[in-house]
Chains A and B, each alone.
Chain A
Amino acid sequence: MLGEFEYVLITAAAGLGESAYGAAIREEIEKVAVRRCSIGALYTTIERLEKKGLLKTWMGAATAQRGGRAKRMVRVTPKGLHAAKEFYEAMMRVSRNASWAAGKRERAS
């Protein structure tokens, strides 16, 4: 099963779609998850997920904004989407009887 940060990263990359690359994923994680994301944590996790076949990366085009440096583009593979869905469903099942989750359910209904 995925780790928590692995799930956050896959979800951010999947949300960004075709424009998912290092800096954009990092910005998305910091904005949505409200947590600091270091470059070290980001790239080592991307490498680990790519080795597991959950992500695919390739070098994209260089831009002037980046000082002429290329982007490392990221795409979530079908296997990655499946793993993220499994993680999400497992968290939902585990949280079913938790007081905070029950509160959410009541508000939702």
Chain B
Amino acid sequence: MSSLAEMATIFLAPNDRDAVLGDLAETGASGWSALGSVLGLVVRQQMELWRAWQPWVAGSVAFAGSLLLLSVSFGLSMDSRHLLRGERGYGSVLCEALLMLSWAWTSGFVVGSLSGKTRWASGLLSAIPCLSCVLRFHDTSLSRLCVLLFLLPGLVGAVQGMRRTRLSHGTALTLAIAVTVLMLVWGGMLYMQNWFLFLPAWWLVAHAERSKLPDEKATA
């Protein structure tokens, strides 16, 4: 069997990999024919995933969330600089940092939990605005990487979302209320332009409510 076909099976789940390579060995398929069979399966599996709504929502959240969080990260970097110069209070910068962290984490969590199998597409949709922004960044007083402050909490959220898939109802509700209160009380109208970013937190609440475990329902 061609080593190319074996290499192509890295895109398959471990069980599928074993079954497909075994089938190819049994039927004596080799070379381009084996590679074509494996790639055909990979393409079909991906197409099958995109028939559901989850990858589309995950991709939209990744793209729109990255666009908004780029400007939030830039604003936080500017305000941190003002804080160091004594032109800004600790409270507002801390609030801004907490909001950025929670927006990025909840957006990442939603993307990861909704569609972990299409993470490459969500990652690409998130990377496009990031790359475009970093390449066009002109402010010489700040590092161009300052716009990417949201990436680490976003990635942590995505990984946790893929592993855990849902939060308990209490945790999700606390998080959503905290994000909303931070936006309304400290951020005021300034942050209302980023209303899209509190949708992931409330989506997590709705999702936790819908998929409550039986013992959670009994105690409710």
Contacts and interface: CB of A to CB of B under 8 A. Distances in A.
A71 B27 CA distance: 13
A23 B41 contact: no
Interface stretch (B16-24, B137-145, B195-203): B16-24
A47 B27 contact: no
A72 B41 contact: no
A38 B40 contact: yes
Contacts of A67: 1, 21-22, 25
Contacts of A59: 15, 18-19
Interface string A28-42: 000000000011110
Q: How large is the interface on B (under 10, 10 to 19, 20 to 34, 35 or more residues)?
A: 20 to 34
B42 to A, nearest CB: 8
Contacts, number: 75
Contacts of B44: 40-41, 43-44
Interface of B, helix, strand, loop or mixed by DSSP: helix
B30 to A, nearest CB: 12
B6 to A, nearest CB: 10
A69 B25 contact: yes
Given A41-B44, A65-B25, A67-B1, A72 B19 contact: yes
Given A40-B44, A43-B19, 4 more contacts: A23-B23, A39-B37, A44-B41, A70-B18
A68 to B, nearest CB: 8
Interface residues of A, number: 23
B215 interface: no
Contact of B41 (A21, A39, A62, A65): A39
B211 interface: no
Nearest to B23: A23
A43 B43 CA distance: 12
